[in-house]
Amino acid sequence: MQAPSLDWSIGGYETIAALLLPAAETVVAAAGLKRGDRVVDIGCGTGNAALLAARQGAEVIGVDPALRLIEVAAERAAREGVQASFRQGEAASLPIPDASMDVAISVFGIIFAGDAAAAIAEIDRVLTAPARIVLSAWLPRGAVFEMNAAAAAAVRAAVGAPRPRHSIGTTATS
Ligand SMILES: C[S@@+](CC[C@H](N)C(=O)[O-])C[C@H]1O[C@@H](n2cnc3c(N)ncnc32)[C@H](O)[C@@H]1O
C-alpha cells in the first residue's frame, strides 16, 4: 500500500468527524441506497457514512489507510449493533475484488489520494453496472477555505508537517 501523505490516526480526528456528520448524511442520502446495495466508503475514517449506509440495509465495506480510525469505526459498528466491515487500504489500491460493489461513496476521503487517476480507476474496477458514485470535496475558494488554508499553513510551518495532498476537487494553494 502506498504510504499516505499524512497519518490520520494521529491525534483526535473523532472530534472533526462529529462535525462532518451532516456531510456524511448528505452523501448517503444522495446515493439513494436500497437494502442490499453493496457499498464501499473510501476514506471512511471513523465510519460516519459507512454506518449511516449500513443502517439503511446496505452491505458496507469501509476502507481507510488509518488503522486506528478503522478500529474506531469497527468499535462504533459493534457498539451500535450495525453490520459493516472495515479494511485498511487506500483509494489507489482498494482491498476489494473486481465488480463486487454497487455504490462508491466518499466523504472528503478520496480527495486525499495522491494519484487521482489511479483512485478513479479503482472505483471503476470495483463497481458493477448500474453503479452510483457520490463523492464530496472541499471547494477551493471562499472565506472558510482561505481561513482554513492560512491556519493549516501556520500549523504546518510550526510543527514541520507535510501539506496533505488533495488530488481531487481542489487545487493546491499553500
Ligand atoms: C477528512 S477525513 C474524512 C473521514 C470520513 N470520511 C468522515 O467523513 O469523517 C479524510 C480521511 O481520508 C483518509 N485518507 C487519506 N488518504 C487516503 C487515501 N489515499 N485513500 C483513502 N483514504 C485516505 C484519511 O485517513 C481520513 O480518514
List, for residues 89-103, the tens digit of each pLDDT value. 999 999 999 999 999
pLDDT of 69: 97
pLDDT digits (tens, 9 = 90+) for 60-76: 999 999 999 999 999 99
pLDDT at site 30? 98
CB atoms within 10 A of CB 20: 17
Higher pLDDT, 14 or 46: 46
Q: What is the pLDDT of residue 50?
A: 98
Kindly report which listed range (3-7, 17-21, 25-29) carries the lowest average pLDDT score: 3-7
Ligand 1: centre distance to CA 6 (Å): 10
Distance from the alpha carbon of residue 27 to the mean position of ligand 1, in angstroms: 15
The residue written with cell numbers 459493534 in the block is 78
- pLDDT score of 168: 59
> pLDDT tens-digit profile of 152-174?
889 889 988 877 666 555 544 33
Question: For the residues 7-11, what does the mean pLDDT come to?
Answer: 89
pLDDT digits (tens, 9 = 90+) for 33-46: 999 999 999 999 99
Q: Is the pLDDT of residue 85 over 90?
A: yes
Rounded Cα distance between 7 and 56, Å, is: 30
**Structural domains of the chain in order of their starting residue, each with its CATH number:** 13-136 (3.40.50.150)
Q: Would you say the C-alpha torsion 52, 4, 160, 152 has a positive or negative sign?
A: negative
**What does the pLDDT read at residue 78?**
98
Distance CA(46)–CA(62), nearest Å, equals 9
* pLDDT tens figures, 109-128: 999 998 999 999 999 999 99
Q: Which residue among 86, 108, 123 has the greatest number of ligand 1 atoms within 8 angstroms of its CB, and so is best to mutate?
A: 108
C-alpha to C-alpha distance for 78 and 69, rounded to whole angstroms = 14
Q: Sign of the CA dihedral 49, 54, 60, 61?
A: positive
Cβ(86) – ligand 1 distance below 6 Å:
no
Prior bond to 95 cis, omega within 30?
no
Crossing angle of the two packed helices 48-55 and 13-31, in degrees rounded to 10: 40
